[in-house]
Every structure is written in C-alpha cells, then in structure tokens.
Amino acid sequence: MQDEAIRKERGQRANARQDPRLDWWREAKFGMFIHWGLYAIPAGEWNGQKIPGIGEWIMYRARIPVAEYEPLAKQFNPVKFNAAEWVSLAKKAGQKYLVITSKHHDGFCMYKSDLTDYNIVDATPFGRDPLKELAVECQKQGLKLGFYYSQTQDWHHPDGDGNDWDYDEAQKDFAGYIENYVKPQVRELLTNYGPIAIIWFDTPKGITVEQSQALLDLCRELQPDCLVCGRLGNTLGDYASAGDNKIPQMAVEADWETPATINDTWGFKTDDHNWKSPPELIHKLVDIVSKGGNYLLNVGPTAEGIIPQPSVERLLAIGDWLKVNGEAVYGTKPGPIQGLAWCRSTARPGKVYLHIFDWPQGGEIKLSGPQATGAYLLSDASRTPLPIKSQSGKVIIKGPSEAPDAINTVIVLTLD
Ligand code: JFZ
C-alpha cells in the first residue's frame, strides 16, 4: 500500500519503524536546516548574469570551471557568523534539531578536513570551523546537531559525480572516491564534533547497495545512535525523506521528513524574495505533523554569516505560536480527523487536538468526530470547558464567535 511505497521510495529501511533510536526524532517534529557555503558569495549571479534555480546549484547551472569557482574561498570571510545566535534562534523557533551542510555538491568543506585543503579553515581568510562552534553551542543550549553531507555529487573532486565540464565522466573512479574520500570524511565528521544526531546524505543517484551499506556500517561503528537519512540511497536509511517541499496527501505510517524552503532557494540568493507567510509556514508544519512527518525548515545564511531577516521574523512567529500550542505538535501522532481543508488533527493518548485553520462563521465546529467527553481551547490556561454535544454521529463544539487565533486555533478534545 501507500505507506509501504513511501518507505521504499523515500528510503526508510523495513524494520526502522520499531527502532527506539528514532524516539527523540519522532517527538521533535521540527528542525532547522542550514544551507551555507561558497555559493552564498555569488548569491545567484555569475559574471553579471542572473542564474536561474536554487542558489547552491550555481556552479552546476552556470557550468563554472573549478578553476573559477575555487577562488571564491579566498573571499569567504563570514565575520558576522555567531553560532550562539543561530542556535538560540532555532530554539526560539521551537526547533529541536539543526542540520547544516558540511559539504554540499560544490565540494567545498565547511569544516576542517584533513582530506583536502578545500575547506573553510585552510582555504579562507575566516580560518574558523563553524561546525565546531555550532557543536559547542548545540551542546550548551541543548539542541541536537546533524550534518548534511553530499556523498555522491561532488563537482570539485575529479572522481565525484556531476562535473562533466572539467572532468571526463568516463575516467572517474567513483568507487575510489567513496573509499578514499567520502568514508574518511564521514569518519572525521562523526569523530571530531561530539555526538552527532543525524547524518543527512543527499542525492544518492547511482551509488550501489554495497556503497550505501558500507557508509551505513561506518556510521553505526562510529556513532551507533546517529540517525541516517533515507537519502543515503538503496532504502537503507533510518527514516524516509520526502521530496523537497513535498507534503503527502494523507497520513503516512512511516517515519518521514519534509525538507523545505522558506522562500524558493536553499543557499542564499540576493533576488529571492518569495517568502512564505507565517500562517502558511505554521499550516505546513501542522499539516506535516498531522500526517506523521517532521518539518526540516531551511535558512540560507549570507556570505557574511547572517540569517536573512525575513527568515528570522518567520521563525520567531512560528516559535510564538508553538509556545502556546506546542502540546498539540511535539510528540503527537496523526489524529483521527483527516482529509478536511479547514482543519487538521493530531493526537496523544486521551486527547485529540483540532487545529482549526478556517474558523467557522459563528464559532460552531461540527465534525464527524471521535466520542469526546470535553473540549477546551489549548490557549486557555484555565481550561474553561466549551459546550460540546454529540448529534447523529457528529460532534458539535460551540467556540467563541471570532477565531481566538487568526492563524490556527487549537481545540483540545478529551476522551475517556
Ligand atoms: C537536493 C539538493 O540537490 C539541493 O541542493 C538541496 O540540498 C536539497 C535539500 O536536496 O535536492 C533534491 C533532492 C531530492 C529531491 C529533490 C531535490 N527529491 O527527491 O525530490
């Protein structure tokens, strides 16, 4: 059936659903994704040309030769980067984990690697290791830390996948690249930064079962608790990774996550102002959680090390909503009411949470619903009961005539 299909297509191994290593992640629901690298310097423009598409793909889209892209490192000096602020922003947004690009497809390492000088410590005037600083802050502030790592595509390495404008694909030793470059780098990432909660592999493309399995084995050997994202390839991941910005139509019986952008790009682009509104983002978070998924919401910091202000404002707005309504999100499961346009539901034992996106005229909420014994607004600390009655298989709740929360009002139904 569909659940099985999603697990398989999106990379969750068969028996992961019973694995308690994922319990914290199942509770967490909401994480911060950070796409940060040299691509933040051109920020969507190369030689005076606007390059269409997502910002971190500029090297590929404009077929920039390694010899021209590489020198960007000499300009990279994000002196405004402040790990404590980024981590504290994620916390204020209500995010429980953070995943940052350690090496994206452009091949530049955002951490100190001994495998190449093409890394932020050795190749830039900045000379600091932001992953180390983030690891320290995440420990301090109590946030789980994950690393994104592009295991197949590498447009800088002569044997990595994807760059056919500098290198001859037929001459590439991909197996050697995995063995002598990817594996030792994964070892660095899972050795030098303390406990790593997630390794977020991406775009497996032609990686073989044996290669995916060998990477998985290495992760298990180094940090058995580290979760491996389904984009490792070959259905070996700990959880399924939905398509970017994709939300399934129905609840899914799998552990799955939607990676998503706040505007249209992952890596910073000067001209991308297509910001989703706070209500849209809150609705997406709740939509995903009501279907059993996690929301990994991206920010793309600038070349100075600043998270764009529109992203900050939106994250804080989500955090404000979660401060009041987090009980209806964290640690919940999909609720019994599914498939309505104006309402979502989440649940935990003894409780169903109705998330009302469009408050009905007059405040009467009518549902083919569960046999509830009581109802109250989650925002109401005194839990004043709302009038509730059952009528020919329907549950009718009398709420205030105006929506208490213009974005999403949560009504708690108690069952017993
Ligand atoms: C990948 C990357 O290529 C991209 O730059 C970004 O890092 C994003 C999070 O992941 O892009 C993908 C990968 C998979 C799908 C779509 C875009 N997919 O499976 O639909």
Residue-wise pLDDT for 362-402, tens only, equals 999 999 978 899 999 999 999 999 999 988 889 999 999 99
CA of 256 to the centre of ligand 1 (A): 15
CA of 353 to the centre of ligand 1 (A): 32
Write the residue with the smallest CA distance to atom 10 of ligand 1: 202
**Ligand 1 binding pocket mutation candidate from 8, 102, 202 (most atoms within 8 A of CB):** 202
For the cut 70, the answer to whether the pLDDT of residue 1 exceeds it is no
Q: Residue 210 is encoded by which pair of tokens?
A: 């044996």
CA of 244 to the centre of ligand 1 (A): 6
Q: Give the pLDDT band of residue 405 (cuts 50, 70, 90).
A: very high
Region 148-175: mean pLDDT is 98
CA of 202 to the centre of ligand 1 (A): 7
CA of 241 to the centre of ligand 1 (A): 10
CA of 203 to the centre of ligand 1 (A): 6
Write the residue with the smallest CA distance to atom 13 of ligand 1: 203
**Ligand 1 binding pocket mutation candidate from 105, 244, 246 (most atoms within 8 A of CB):** 244
pLDDT above 90: percentage of residues in the chain: 95
Q: Give the residue from 69, 21, 74, 33 showing the smallest Cα distance to 260.
A: 33
Residue-wise pLDDT for 9-67, tens only, equals 889 998 999 999 999 999 999 999 999 999 999 999 999 999 999 999 999 999 999 99
- CB of 347 within 8 A of CB of 411? no
394-398 and 388-391 beta bridge pairing? antiparallel
pLDDT given at position 80: 98
For the cut 80, the answer to whether the pLDDT of residue 2 exceeds it is no
- CB of 302 within 8 A of CB of 310? no
Euclidean distance between CA atoms 156 and 162, whole angstroms: 9
Q: Which atom of ligand 1 is nearest to the CA of 266?
A: 6
CA of 344 to the centre of ligand 1 (A): 27
Angle formed by the axes of helices 309-325 and 278-290, nearest 10°: 50
Q: Which atom of ligand 1 is nearest to the CA of 259?
A: 9
Region 258-264: mean pLDDT is 98
- CB of 261 within 8 A of CB of 246? no
CA of 128 to the centre of ligand 1 (A): 28
Region 325-339: mean pLDDT is 98
Ligand 1 residue neighbourhood (C-beta within 6 Å): 54, 56-57, 202-203, 243-244, 259, 266
Write the residue with the smallest CA distance to atom 8 of ligand 1: 244
pTM of the model: 0.98
